[in-house]
C-alpha cells in the first residue's frame, strides 16, 4: 500500500473522488443501458406482443383507425430504405471525392477553409434542413413536376444526402490521410499518375476507413427524423416511385407517439419499430467501432 | 507536383507517348473532378446558410426575439421569446445533470480505471450509444419519464432526456482531453507525493479545460438544435412564457417545425430558423476557436 504514505484525510479525499467518479460513470452508463431495456419492455416484443412478426414487418398495412385496427410497418421501413439508399448513393461518391480532395489535392489553405465549412454543414439542425428543403425544393417541385403537394421521397433523400455528406467526407478524408506516406512516395517513384495511386493504392489501403465512413453515413441517415418528417410527405401508403410520398420509420414514430394510448397495440407497435431501429443502429455503430480499432492498430503497425 | 517525375518516367516505362498523353489527360480530368467535389462541399454550407440569412434577416428584430407569439392563428405575428427561453432552460438543465456525471466518468476512465478491458468495454458501449438516433431518446424519455415516472410533458422530463443525449458526447470529450495531457505531468506530480485528487484538481483539469469546454459547447449546440427528443417530452405549441420544472415549454426547433408543418407563418419560420442557426453558429465558432487555442480534444 503506497497510500499509507499520505495522511488519513488526504487518503480519504482521494478515495472519495475515485468512488464518486466511478458512481458518476455507472449512473450515466446504466441510464443509457436502461434506454435499451425500457424501449424493449414497452414494445413487449419478448412477451405478449399481439402481432405475428411477419405480419408486423411485411403483410399488414398501418391502419390504426380501421376495424379491426392493424399496425404493420411495411410502408415505413420501405420508405426508410428508399430515402436512406438514395441519400447514400449521392453522398458516398461526393463524400469520397471530397475526402480525396482534402487529403491529396487541396492546398493547405483550402483545407483550412473546407474543414470548418464541413463542420458548419454538420452543425445545422435537422429541423432547419427540413425547413430549407421545404422552402426551396418542395415549392419548386410542385411547379416542375406538376404535383398537388411537393413532398416526396426524392426531396427527403436529396436533403438527407446533404446532411450525411459532412460525416462521410470527413471520415473518408481521415481514412485517406492515414495511409502511410511511404506508399505514396514509392508509387510516385515508380512513375505512375496520381489517379493510379489513388485507385490502386489509397483506395485499397483506406478501405476499412472508407467502410466506416459509409457505415457512419448509414447510421445517421437511418435515424434522421425531423427533416424526413417534414419532407417525405407522411402518408401511410406504400410508395412506388421516388416522386410519391412516404413515411419513414422515424417519421412514423414522431407522428403517432403523441396521440397513442399507453400500452395499446399501437403503442407496442411503435416501440417495437423503435427497438428495431435502435438495434440496427447499435449494430452499425459496433461495426464502425471495430473497423476504427482494427484500422488504428493496422496503421500503427 | 508529381507531374514532372510522372512525365519522364511513365513515358519511358510505357514506351508510347500516346498512352502517356492519354493517362496524363485522365489524371488532369480526375483532379478537376476532385476540385469540383471540393467546391461543392464548400458551396453547400455557404449557400444554405447564406440563403437562410438573406431570407431571414428581414423578419428578425429585437422585438422578434423578445416578444410573445401573437396573431390569429397564434404565431403569425409577434415574437419567439418563450421558445428562446425554453430552449435555453432545457439545455441548461441537461448540462447541469450531464456534466457532473460525464466529468466524473471521464475522470474515472482516464485516471482511475486500472483495467484496460473494463475501460474498453465502457468506451465501446458509450460510443455505440452516442450515435443512437435522437428520436429513440425521445421515445425512452416519453415512456420512462413522462409516463412511467409520471413527470408529464415538462421542462424536467425534456431536460433529463437532453442530459442523456449530452452524456456520451461529454464523457468522450472529458476522457480524450484528460488523456491528451502529457504523461510526464502525472509522473512528476505523483513522484512529488501528491494525491491523485490534487493532481486532477491542480494539474490535469487546468491542462485539459479547453478541450472540455469545447466538448460542452458541442454537446449543448447539439441538444439545442434537436427537436425529436423534446417533441413529446417537453414541448407545447404555445406557452405564455415563464418557466416551471413541471410545466411544458416552447423550444426553437419544435416551434420552427410547428410553424412549417401547420403552415402557420413562413415569415416567422424564416426568422426562427435564422435565430436558431445564428445561435448555433456562435456556439460552434467558439468551440472551434477554443480548440484552435490548444485543447487536445478533437471530435
pLDDT band at A296 (very low <50, low <70, confident <90, very high): low
Residues B154, B10, single domain; the answer is: no
Please judge whether A162 and B140 are an interchain contact, meaning their C-beta atoms are less than 8 angstroms apart.
no
Contact A153, A86 (CB under 8 A): yes
Range of the domain at A284: 54-300
Confidence of residue B16 (pLDDT cuts 50, 70, 90): low
C-alpha cell at B177: 482531453
Structural domain including B49 reads 3-59
Q: Give residues 237 to 276 of B whose Cβ lies within 8 Å of A.
A: 253-254, 256-257, 260-261, 266, 269-270, 273, 276
pLDDT at residue A282 is higher than 90: yes
Average pLDDT over residues A40-62: 81
Is residue B113 domain-shared with residue B205, that is, in the same domain? Answer: yes
Residue B13: per-residue pLDDT: 53
Whether B297 has a pLDDT exceeding 50, the answer reads no
End-to-end CA distance of chain A: 37
Q: Look at chain A and report how many structural domains it folds into.
A: 1
pLDDT of residue B5: 54
Q: What ipTM does the predicted assembly reach?
A: 0.89
Q: Is residue A9 part of a domain?
A: no
* Dist CA A190 CA A171 (whole Å): 29
pLDDT-above-70 percentage for chain A = 95
Are B245 and B189 part of one and the same domain?
Answer: yes
| Rounded distance between C-alpha atoms, residue B102 and residue A238, angstroms | 43
- Per-residue model confidence (pLDDT) at position A187: 87
Residues 6+ apart with CB under 8 A from A9: none
pLDDT at position B130: 87
Q: Are A62 and A71 in contact (CB under 8 A)?
A: yes
Mutate to test the interface with A, among B48, B134, B174 (most CBs of A within 10 A): B48
β-strands A70-71, B69-70: how paired? unpaired
pLDDT at B57: 92
Convert A229-262 to b/e letters by CB count within 10 Å (16 or more is b). bbbbbbbbebbeebebbbbbbbbbbbbbbeebee
Does some domain include residue A224? yes
Contacts of A97 in chain B (CB under 8 A): 33-34, 36-38
A window 224-263, beta carbon within 8 A of B: 224-226, 229-230, 250, 253-254, 257-258, 262
Higher per-residue confidence, B9 vs B158:
B158
The grid coordinates of residue B134 equal: 435522437
Question: In this structure, what are the phi and psi dihedrals at residue B78, rounded to the nearest 5 degrees?
Answer: 80, -155
Residue B127 has pLDDT above 70, yes or no: yes
B220 — contact with chain A (CB < 8 Å)? no
Burial of B117: CB neighbours in 10 Å, binned 0-12, 13-18, 19+:
exposed
Rounded mean pLDDT, B6-10? 53
pLDDT band (50, 70, 90) for residue A191? confident
pLDDT at A22 over 50: yes
CATH number, residue B252: 1.10.3720.10
Q: Which of B127, B91, B61 is nearest to B299 (CA)?
A: B127
Contact A175, A99 (CB under 8 A): yes
- The per-residue pLDDT of chain A, averaged, comes to 88
Same domain, yes or no: B50 and B73: no
Contacts 24+ apart (CB under 8 A), B281-285: B281/A120, B281/A123, B281/B49, B283/B217, B283/B220, B283/B221, B283/B224, B284/A119, B284/A120, B284/A123, B284/B217, B284/B218, B284/B221
**To 5 degrees, how large is the angle CA A92–CA A101–CA B3?**
135
Of A71-80, A201-210, B212-221, B278-287, give the lowest mean pLDDT range.
Answer: B278-287
Cα–Cα distances in angstroms (integers) from residue B178 to residues A22, A187, B44, B103, in the given order:
16, 39, 35, 10
pLDDT at A147: 79
Q: For residue range B154-205, what is the model confidence (pLDDT) as tens digits?
A: 999 999 999 999 999 999 999 999 998 988 998 888 888 888 888 888 889 8
Question: A38 in a domain, yes or no?
Answer: no
Q: Which helix (H) or strand (E) holds A62?
A: strand A62-63
- CATH number of the domain within which A142 lies: 1.10.3720.10
Amino acid at each position: 500500500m503506497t497510500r499509507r504514505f499520505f495522511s488519513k484525510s488526504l487518503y480519504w479525499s482521494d478515495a472519495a473522488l475515485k468512488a464518486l467518479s466511478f458512481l458518476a460513470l455507472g449512473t450515466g452508463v446504466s441510464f443509457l443501458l436502461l434506454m435499451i431495456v425500457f424501449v424493449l419492455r414497452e414494445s413487449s416484443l419478448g412477451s405478449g406482443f399481439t402481432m405475428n412478426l411477419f405480419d408486423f414487418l411485411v403483410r399488414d398495412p398501418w391502419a390504426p383507425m380501421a376495424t379491426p385496427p392493424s399496425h404493420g410497418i411495411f410502408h415505413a421501413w420501405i420508405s426508410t430504405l428508399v430515402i436512406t439508399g438514395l441519400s447514400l448513393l449521392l453522398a458516398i461518391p461526393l463524400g469520397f471525392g471530397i475526402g480525396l480532395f482534402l487529403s491529396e489535392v487541396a492546398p493547405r489553405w483550402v483545407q483550412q477553409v473546407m474543414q470548418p465549412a464541413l463542420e458548419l454543414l454538420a452543425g445545422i439542425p435537422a429541423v432547419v434542413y427540413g425547413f430549407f428543403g421545404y422552402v426551396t425544393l418542395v415549392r419548386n417541385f410542385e411547379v416542375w413536376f406538376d404535383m398537388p403537394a411537393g413532398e416526396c421521397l426524392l426531396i427527403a433523400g436529396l436533403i438527407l444526402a446533404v446532411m450525411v455528406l459532412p460525416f462521410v467526407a470527413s471520415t473518408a478524408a481521415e481514412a485517406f490521410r492515414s495511409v502511410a506516406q511511404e506508399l505514396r512516395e514509392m508509387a510516385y517513384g515508380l512513375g505512375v499518375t496520381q489517379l493510379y495511386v489513388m485507385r490502386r493504392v489509397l483506395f485499397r489501403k483506406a478501405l476499412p476507413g472508407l467502410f466506416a465512413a459509409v457505415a457512419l453515413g448509414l447510421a445517421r441517415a437511418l435515424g434522421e427524423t425531423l427533416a424526413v418528417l417534414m419532407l417525405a410527405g407522411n402518408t401511410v401508403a406504400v410508395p412506388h416511385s421516388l416522386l410519391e410520398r412516404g413515411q419513414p420509420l422515424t417519421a412514423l414514430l414522431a407522428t403517432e407517439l403523441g396521440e397513442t394510448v399507453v400500452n395499446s397495440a399501437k403503442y407496442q407497435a411503435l416501440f417495437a419499430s423503435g427497438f428495431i431501429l435502435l438495434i440496427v443502429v447499435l449494430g452499425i455503430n459496433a461495426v464502425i467501432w471495430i473497423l476504427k480499432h482494427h484500422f488504428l492498430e493496422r496503421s500503427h503497425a | 507536383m508529381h507531374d514532372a517525375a510522372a512525365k519522364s518516367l511513365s513515358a519511358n516505362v510505357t514506351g508510347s507517348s500516346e498512352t502517356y498523353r492519354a493517362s496524363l489527360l485522365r489524371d488532369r480530368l480526375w483532379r478537376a473532378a476532385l476540385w469540383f467535389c471540393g467546391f461543392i462541399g464548400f458551396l453547400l454550407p455557404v449557400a444554405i446558410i447564406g440563403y437562410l440569412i438573406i431570407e431571414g434577416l428581414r423578419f428578425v428584430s429585437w422585438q422578434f426575439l423578445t416578444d410573445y407569439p401573437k396573431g390569429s392563428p397564434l404565431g403569425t405575428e409577434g415574437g419567439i421569446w418563450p421558445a428562446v427561453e425554453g430552449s435555453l432552460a432545457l439545455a441548461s438543465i441537461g448540462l447541469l445533470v450531464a456534466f457532473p456525471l460525464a466529468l466524473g466518468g471521464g475522470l474515472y476512465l482516464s485516471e482511475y480505471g486500472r483495467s484496460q478491458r473494463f475501460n474498453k468495454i465502457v468506451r465501446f458501449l458509450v460510443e455505440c450509444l452516442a450515435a443512437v438516433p435522437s428520436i429513440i431518446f425521445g421515445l425512452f424519455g416519453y415512456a420512462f419519464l413522462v409516463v412511467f415516472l409520471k413527470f408529464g410533458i415538462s421542462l424536467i422530463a425534456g431536460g433529463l432526456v437532453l442530459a442523456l443525449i449530452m452524456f456520451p458526447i461529454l464523457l468522450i470529450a472529458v476522457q480524450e482531453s484528460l488523456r491528451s495531457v502529457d504523461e510526464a505531468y502525472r509522473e512528476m506530480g505523483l513522484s512529488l507525493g501528491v494525491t491523485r485528487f490534487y493532481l486532477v484538481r491542480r494539474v490535469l483539469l487546468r491542462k485539459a479545460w479547453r478541450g472540455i469546454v469545447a466538448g460542452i459547447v458541442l454537446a449543448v449546440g447539439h441538444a439545442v438544435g434537436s427537436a425529436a427528443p423534446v417533441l413529446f417530452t417537453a414541448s407545447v405549441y404555445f406557452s405564455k412564457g415563464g418557466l416551471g420544472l413541471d410545466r411544458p415549454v416552447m423550444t426553437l426547433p419544435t416551434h420552427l417545425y410547428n410553424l412549417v408543418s401547420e403552415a402557420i407563418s413562413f415569415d416567422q419560420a424564416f426568422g426562427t430558423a435564422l435565430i436558431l442557426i445564428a445561435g448555433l453558429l456562435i456556439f460552434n465558432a467558439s468551440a472551434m476557436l477554443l480548440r484552435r487555442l490548444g485543447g487536445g480534444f478533437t471530435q
